[in-house]
């Protein structure tokens, strides 16, 4: 997306949806420059970016060299400007056992930002760049163990910055999309070509409900796949998740991840054992 197109979109949005509209942008920041930052500032757009300071495998240039150097330069441009920023870290198998190193990096990174940097931890799933990276997928319940170790470090430090999913678990009114029971009722993903899907993740995998240029909104919202997602929690509550004591914390997890791992939506999260491990730890060692 070029700057001129971006400006046109923003001008349209400002004229059609005055102040209430909030915008976030997910970017690898590699082509970010001062002009982009000014534009983001002007339209009050919150930036989120993925980073992996530990593993050099996934985030590389075409020649195989890590992107971290370039990413850091862009990151400094934002923090020097006191620009609010959120980060995403994707947990893969090679991160297991490196929890303290990873946590410390993000904790230390806070010293460069006046406003604090929230960090979201997601498990890797077999899609996009990681589609065939089976050696990096996490076995159950290792992701739960990773989360628990991360929690211990965060809690020991008196929770100095926002870590998702922890801050979401702690706030009963704030559920992350993947633990929200009804994500398909509350989110839509639309790409630059007008394709409509459930969210950014499903867009990546071309699970499409329709297209804004060729289909009516009625047809798009009436899409069969979307309806299956909408009814998912009702099915799970009486099947795989029946009598699960942590139902209201997870609601079966992200439907898209489930589809990737099982081929369908009406199954529980592939990280079910991990979340159960984590919630049990919290119950037995924090809330005891």
Name the residues that contact another protein, by CB under 8 A.
53, 68-69, 72, 76, 100-101, 103-105, 107-112, 153, 156-158, 160
Residue among 69 and 193 whose Cβ is closer to another protein: 69
Residue among 68 and 235 whose Cβ is closer to another protein: 68
Minimum CB distance to another protein, residue 238 (Å)? 38
Minimum CB distance to another protein, residue 141 (Å)? 25
Residue among 59 and 175 whose Cβ is closer to another protein: 59
39-42: Cβ within 8 A, 24+ apart: 39/3, 39/6, 39/7, 39/10, 40/83, 41/81, 41/83, 42/10
Read off the DSSP letter of residue 138: P
User: Are the CB atoms for 188 and 196 separated by under 8 Å?
Assistant: yes
Residue among 40 and 103 whose Cβ is closer to another protein: 103
Laid out side by side, the sheet with 23-26 consists of 23-26, 45-50, 85-91, 118-123, 163-164
152: tokens are 């211990």
Minimum CB distance to another protein, residue 76 (Å)? 6
Minimum CB distance to another protein, residue 285 (Å)? 12
Nearest to 94 by CA among 49, 48, 59: 59
Separation between Cα atoms, residue 258 and residue 252, nearest integer Å:
9
Residue among 101 and 129 whose Cβ is closer to another protein: 101
Beta bridge partners of 124: none
Minimum CB distance to another protein, residue 105 (Å)? 5
């Amino acid at each position: 997306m070029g700057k001129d197109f971006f400006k046109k979109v923003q001008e349209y949005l400002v004229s059609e949806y005055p102040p209430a509209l909030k915008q976030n942008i997910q970017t690898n920041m590699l082509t970010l420059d001062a002009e982009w930052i000014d534009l983001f500032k002007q339209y009050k757009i919150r930036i989120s970016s993925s980073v992996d300071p530990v593993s050099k495998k996934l985030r590389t240039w075409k020649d195989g060299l890590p992107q971290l150097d370039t990413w850091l330069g862009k990151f400094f441009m934002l923090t020097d400007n006191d620009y609010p920023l959120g980060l995403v870290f994707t947990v893969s198998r090679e991160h297991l056992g490196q929890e303290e190193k990873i946590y410390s990096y993000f904790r230390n990174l806070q010293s460069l930002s006046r406003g604090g940097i929230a960090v979201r931890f997601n498990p890797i799933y077999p899609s996009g760049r990681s589609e065939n990276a089976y050696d990096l997928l996490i076995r159950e319940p290792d992701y739960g163990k990773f989360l628990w170790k991360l929690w211990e470090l965060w809690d020991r430090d008196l929770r100095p910055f926002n870590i998702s999913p922890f801050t979401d678990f702690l706030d009963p009114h704030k559920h992350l999309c993947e633990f929200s029971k009804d994500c398909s009722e509350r989110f839509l993903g639309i790409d630059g070509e007008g394709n409509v899907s459930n969210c950014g993740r499903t867009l990546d995998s071309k699970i499409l409900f329709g297209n804004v240029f060729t289909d009516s909104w009625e047809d798009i919202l009436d899409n069969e796949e979307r309806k299956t997602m909408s009814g998912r929690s009702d099915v799970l509550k009486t099947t795989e998740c029946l009598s699960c004591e942590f139902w209201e914390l997870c609601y079966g997890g992200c439907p898209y991840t489930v589809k990737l791992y099982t081929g369908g939506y009406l199954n529980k999260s592939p990280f079910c054992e991990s979340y159960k491990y984590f919630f049990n730890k919290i119950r037995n060692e924090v809330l005891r």
